[in-house]
């Protein structure tokens, strides 16, 4: 019956194309439709629109098959082959790619660097972004708050290549900053050629870039906490410190967990900074996973070895994320 | 009264600290802009040059006229690739999201689950190596295709659109169909204009992501005239430009930063909104 109504509508529509008429028809149709039960309509229009639906999702399906499903499935077997990207020969070598990498100097250096970097980066990122977001949330003047948030997100907008170029000069031995630090410690400082120091400028650059983003994530959450909570606590005489730990922190916990995960996984994404500044040196002191992958694929054309490195990187980062979530989620239950 | 006074002091302290942080954030931007306007040897003499007369655009004219290092061509390469990717992500996300949200077909739930899975599970991290060997096999090195196709779709976009389209009442679609609109017209004349904010957020973040991509472009492009700005700058920087001709390198860095800053100025609201949506996205 519904179909006949639609047909009628369509025919009428064709006969008189005046928009006014069609509008009244739509109204008529709508009031008529309301007498029907939704399910019936769904299934009928469903049958009619199924071919179009398949047409609409086809590009997505095809693209994913070729560029997501197939590469991800293939990514496990290629790690077992000695496979040059240019040649077509593939030679099965079992776990050699993995063992080679895990026993290499590079792997040792990467893991050491990961710990060193994380010890600088994670606490600084968490504490600073927390402080900035608390301050930003306490600004009441809306215009001022807007200006500050814009200034705070600004570093996030810079491209890794661009800010690496800039920071290469900010940390240059002749720069204002280096001269200042040299003056304090009374010795010449050369950030990028000292293996003990090289991670400091790199961590600082990445901090500069990402703290603003973390802060704004937290600020959005802090401002969404109802004011009544704090007012009630104030009446009971709670200090700012206890209010933070008893009210603010538990309520922003999910966002905080996300920021912890972001900052822990930062090391796995590092590429442009050491690639441009140090090539991973001196003595592998700023080497990272992506540099090794790039080295294997681009310079040695070893797709199998590169894939093995990428897989190990993926596994470590994945298990770290799982671990963090488990630890912090348990706290939430308590 | 002393309580009020304390509050006032605190307020000013917060403003002072936030202003300091803002200056820190702004400093590298000022450093790169002034550096691009000064002769290379004056780079460490502070933000302002010793003599105002040494400010000039000579670095710009030099950067744009170098034959072996075509910065302008690279800039247009970057714009073309990024623009194409951004439009394609919006287009395919919209049509796929529409089908999932508003049309009934067999396997709809399966598709939705796949989208969510793909979005949560980042893949093995090895996939791009397989794609790279495919690009090699089909002789697509040094082409726009190799820089565009692997970025054409995202699960995030499909998910965003499907969730937003769900909230648009079905009556509007039905009315449009009765008026004789085809499904494509429904998507692009009704649904998409109603979800401008989602499209803008998706567009901006896709643009930023693609614009800043370095590793992939390094792998697939070796010819200078096909390089994106990212790759060309890092090449020039490593090839000595970072030492001897820092003024020109800074100019290129300004060029690289401009488009995103302009987008930010135009769509500031969408940026902040996107950050709060983006939070739920990655996990």
CB atoms closer than 10 angstroms to residue A149: 23
CATH number at residue B67: 1.10.3720.10
Q: How confident is the model at residue A74 (pLDDT cuts 50, 70, 90)?
A: confident
Q: Which two tokens stand for residue B277?
A: 């949506």
Task: Looking at the structure, tell me whether residues B67 and B27 fall in a common domain.
Answer: no
d(CA B230, CA B212): 7
Residues 113-132 (A) with a CB less than 8 A from some CB of B:
132
Total of domains in chain B: 2
Q: Which two tokens stand for residue A188?
A: 């010449």
Domain, as residue range, for B12: 2-55
Distance, in angstroms, between B207 CA and closest chain A CA? Answer: 11
Distance, in angstroms, between B158 CA and closest chain A CA? Answer: 9
Distance, in angstroms, between B99 CA and closest chain A CA? Answer: 5
d(CA B75, CA B72): 5
pLDDT mean across residues, chain B: 87
Q: Which of A134, A152, A274, A137 is nearest to A211 (CA)?
A: A152
| Confidence (pLDDT) at A26 | 44
pLDDT exceeds cutoff 60 at A3 = no
Q: What DSSP line would sit under A276-289, residue for residue?
A: HHTTT-STTTT--H
ipTM value, please give it: 0.86
d(CA A277, CA A201): 10
Q: Which of B23, B12, B202, B44 is nearest to B119 (CA)?
A: B202
Query: Which residues of A fall within a CB distance of 8 Å from B122?
Result: 314
Question: Interhelix angle for B268-282 vs A142-153, to 10°?
Answer: 60
Identify from A162, A175, A193 which residue to disrupt to test chain B contact, counting B C-beta atoms within 10 A and taking the largest count. A162
Query: What length is written for chain B?
Result: 283
Asked if the C-beta of A26 comes within 8 angstroms of chain B's C-beta atoms, the answer is yes
Residues 139-158 (A) with a CB less than 8 A from some CB of B:
139, 144, 147-155, 157-158
**pLDDT tens, position by position, B144-175:** 999 999 999 999 899 889 988 988 888 888 88
Task: Looking at the structure, tell me whether residues B30 and B81 fall in a common domain.
Answer: no
Would you give the DSSP letter of residue A156?
A: G
Chosen CATH of A98-333 out of 3.30.980.20, 1.10.3720.10, 2.40.30.10, 3.40.50.800: 1.10.3720.10
Out of B98, B128, B257, whose CB is closest to A159? B257
**Paired residues of A123 in beta bridges:** none
Residues 295-314 (A) with a CB less than 8 A from some CB of B:
297-298, 303, 306-307, 310-311, 313-314
Question: Interhelix angle for B71-102 vs B155-166, to 10°?
Answer: 40
SS3 A163: helix
Q: Which of B171, A246, A127, A323 is nearest to B179 (CA)?
A: B171
Residue A306 vs residues A274, A290, A291, B49: alpha-carbon distances, Å: 18, 10, 10, 47
Residue B184 vs residues B2, B86, B162, B189: alpha-carbon distances, Å: 66, 19, 16, 8
The ranges of chain A annotated as CATH 1.10.3720.10 are 98-333
Query: Which residues of B fall within a CB distance of 8 Å from A63?
Result: 92, 152-153
Q: Are B209 and A250 in contact (CB under 8 A)?
A: no
**pLDDT tens, position by position, A241-266:** 888 888 888 888 888 988 999 999 99
Q: Which two tokens stand for residue A129?
A: 């972004």
């Amino acid at each position: 019956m519904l179909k006949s109504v639609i047909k009628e509508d369509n025919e009428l529509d064709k006969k008189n194309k005046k928009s006014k008429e069609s509008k009244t028809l739509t109204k008529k149709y709508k009031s008529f439709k309301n007498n029907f039960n939704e399910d019936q309509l769904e299934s009928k229009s469903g049958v009619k629109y199924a071919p179009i639906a398949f047409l609409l999702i086809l590009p997505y399906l095809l693209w994913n098959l070729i560029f997501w499903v197939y590469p991800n499935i293939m990514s496990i077997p290629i790690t077992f082959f000695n496979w040059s990207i240019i040649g077509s020969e593939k030679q099965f070598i079992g776990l050699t790619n993995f063992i080679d990498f895990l026993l290499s100097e590079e792997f040792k250096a990467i893991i050491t660097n990961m710990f060193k970097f994380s010890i600088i980066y994670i606490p600084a990122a968490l504490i600073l972004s927390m402080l900035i977001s608390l301050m930003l949330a306490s600004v009441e003047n809306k215009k001022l708050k807007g200006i500050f948030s814009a200034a705070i997100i600004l570093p996030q907008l810079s491209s890794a290549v661009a800010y690496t170029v800039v920071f290469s000069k900010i940390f240059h031995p002749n720069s204002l900053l280096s001269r200042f630090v040299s003056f304090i410690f009374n010795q010449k400082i050369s950030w990028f050629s000292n293996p003990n120091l090289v991670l400091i400028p790199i961590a600082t650059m990445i901090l500069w870039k990402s703290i603003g983003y973390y802060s704004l994530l937290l600020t959005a959450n802090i401002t969404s906490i109802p004011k009544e909570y704090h007012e009630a606590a104030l009446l009971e005489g709670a200090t700012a410190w206890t209010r933070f730990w008893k009210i603010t922190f538990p309520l922003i916990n999910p966002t905080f967990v996300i920021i912890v995960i972001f900052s822990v996984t930062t090391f796995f994404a590092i590429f442009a900074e050491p690639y441009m500044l140090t090539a991973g040196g001196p003595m592998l002191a700023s080497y990272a996973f992506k540099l090794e992958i790039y080295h294997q694929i681009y310079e040695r054309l070893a797709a199998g070895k590169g894939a093995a490195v990428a897989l190990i990187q993926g596994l470590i980062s994945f298990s770290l994320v799982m671990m963090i979530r488990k630890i912090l989620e348990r706290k939430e239950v308590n | 009264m002393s309580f009020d006074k304390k509050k006032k002091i605190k307020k000013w302290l917060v403003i002072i600290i936030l202003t300091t942080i803002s200056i820190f954030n702004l400093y590298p931007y000022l450093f790169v802009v002034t550096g691009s306007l000064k002769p290379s040897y004056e780079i460490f003499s502070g933000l302002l040059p010793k003599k105002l007369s040494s400010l000039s655009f000579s670095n710009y004219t030099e950067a744009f006229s170098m034959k072996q290092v075509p910065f302008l061509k690279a800039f247009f390469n970057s714009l073309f690739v990024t623009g194409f990717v951004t439009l394609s992500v919006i287009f395919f996300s919209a049509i796929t999201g529409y089908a999932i949200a508003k049309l009934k077909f067999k396997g709809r739930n399966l598709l939705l689950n796949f989208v969510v899975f793909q979005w949560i599970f980042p893949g093995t991290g090895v996939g791009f190596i397989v794609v790279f060997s495919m690009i090699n096999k089909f002789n697509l090195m040094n082409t726009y295709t190799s820089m565009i196709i692997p970025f054409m779709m995202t699960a995030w976009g499909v998910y965003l659109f499907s969730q937003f389209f769900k909230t648009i009442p079905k009556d509007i679609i039905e009315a449009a169909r009765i008026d004789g609109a085809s499904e494509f017209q429904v998507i692009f004349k009704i649904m998409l204009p109603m979800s401008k904010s989602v499209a803008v957020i998706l567009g901006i973040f896709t643009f930023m992501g693609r614009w800043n991509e370095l590793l992939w472009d390094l792998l697939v492009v070796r010819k200078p005239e096909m390089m994106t700005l990212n790759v060309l700058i890092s090449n020039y920087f490593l090839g000595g430009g970072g030492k001897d001709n820092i003024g020109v390198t800074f100019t290129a860095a300004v060029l690289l930063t401009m488009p995103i800053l302009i987008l930010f100025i135009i769509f500031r609201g969408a940026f902040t909104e996107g950050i709060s949506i983006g939070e739920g996205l990655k996990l």
